[in-house]
Chains A and B, each alone.
Chain A
Amino acid sequence: MAEEGVKLFGTWASPFSRRIEVALKLKGVEYEYIEENLTNKSPALLNYNPVHKQIPVLVHNGKPVAESFVIMEYIDETWKHNPILPADPYERAMARFWAKYIDEKFWPAAKKVLVTKGEEQKGVIDEIQQQMKNLEGELKEKKFFGGESFGFLDIAANIIIWLVVAQEALGMEILNEEKLPILHGWLQRLLNDAVFKECVPPKERHLDFFKVKFGSSIASK
């Protein structure tokens, strides 16, 4: 029996499942959202992603796809209007390159900066600032990484918002607006976008999330 339709397994605070929400909403695809509890994963999730047992998982007509960038490319190839990736192969390569950079370099550093102290933390902050400068080099004069409207790399870069909220919650300064003016401008535009702003965690709840999870490690400095 084939299941019709689209389902998304995610969590409210995961930047990875939020990426998929952006892609689906941008394309106007109707979907059923299933909020997972990662401390008590559903049998459905474990069945759909036995390899990683993680969210997000997109299920389309009963067939599961896991890994956020893989899902985003699948969505772009299945629903062709409002394209997420650019048409030109070189531009596509650049979007994929920088998206990979964000997940493989920025994301580990962003997690590390919240649990380190003193000199070690300062080193990670410097690393993050440099990473953001590199990203600014890719953005340059453009409104979004995708050009006039946001695309694959803008969606991938959503994790930066998580660090912005975390630093506010914990009274830290990691992404400095003065040092990263281009990035700051881009962030404001992204957060003002009608589709995009529906796909970030509710601010107050997100601030509380960071305070609860990391607050004590900061207080003990």
Chain B
Amino acid sequence: MGEEVKLFRTWSSSFALRIVWALKIKGIEYETVFEDLSNKSPLLLQYNPVHKKVPILVHNGRPIAESLVILEYIDETWKQAPLLPKDPYERAMARFWAKFGDDKVLTSIWSVFIKQGKEQEEALVATMENLKFLEEEMKGKKFFGGERIGYVDLALGYLANLISIFEEIVGLKIVDEEKLPLLYSWMQDFAEAPIIRDNWPPREKMIVKFQALLDAAIASSSSSS
């Protein structure tokens, strides 16, 4: 009986993409279980009773949830094509920037997308401040991981796709090539990289999905005012 690896995900989950990329970069065979979050399977609820979310990695029957936790597990279990650097300080920096991405960058970019008027303007200012830190971190590097894609690239990578989708829907520039040239080229390089480019969710479907989310948010905010 060989290794059994299953990934519970949805077709659009940005966090699940991290795991897809990591497994493929390491050449790990796995089975995908697609979930419908409006009708969660008994297995999902059993494997992640605390959060009831995806992604979940199940390795030889044992479940792990939270995508950054899963990434570290994958890196520690399958040692080929390492995602995190070797040096403890470099590893600390990688973990710091991945957390910054989830705690600050995602939050501010989501606000730019979902809010209107003054709130949107403020969110754009916050986003620029956050992205400037990432721009600084890119100096002298092709990817956040250096020459090769690494942990931070996988953690932030969904932005390479999602930002352009948000920009298209709300008609605002978030990553301007002139203002954030390194980040802009990282987004192109990452999106086109082998393995990464083969696993983006269908763009049209994403636009429909996020447009619907925005429409619903606008409808509920105007009906409550």
The residues of A with any CB-CB pair to B shorter than 8 Å are 51, 60, 63, 65-67, 69-71, 73-74, 77-78, 89-90, 92-94, 96-97, 100-101, 134
How many B residues touch the partner, as a band?
A: 20 to 34
The residues of B with any CB-CB pair to A shorter than 8 Å are 50, 59, 62, 64-66, 69-70, 72-73, 76-77, 88-89, 91-93, 95-96, 99-100, 133
A169 to B89, CA, bound (A): 40
- Beyond the given pairs A70-B92, A77-B88, A90-B59, 16 more chain A to chain B contacts, judged by CB atoms under 8 angstroms and listed by A's residue number, are A67-B99, A70-B96, A71-B92, A73-B92, A74-B89, A74-B92, A78-B88, A92-B72, A93-B70, A93-B72, A94-B64, A96-B69, A97-B64, A97-B66, A100-B69, A134-B50
A74 to B93, CA, bound (A): 10
Given contacts A67-B95, A67-B99, A73-B95, contact A92 B76 (CB under 8 A): yes
- Say what secondary structure dominates the interface of chain B: helix
A77 to B86, CA, bound (A): 10
B88 touches A93 (CB 8 A): no
B113: min CB distance to chain A, Å: 22
B71: min CB distance to chain A, Å: 10
Q: Which of A60, A65, A89, A90 contacts B96 (CB 8 A)?
A: A65
- In the assembled complex, which residues on chain A have CB atoms less than 8 Å from the CB atom of B133? 51
A66: min CB distance to chain B, Å: 6
B31: min CB distance to chain A, Å: 19
B91 touches A100 (CB 8 A): no
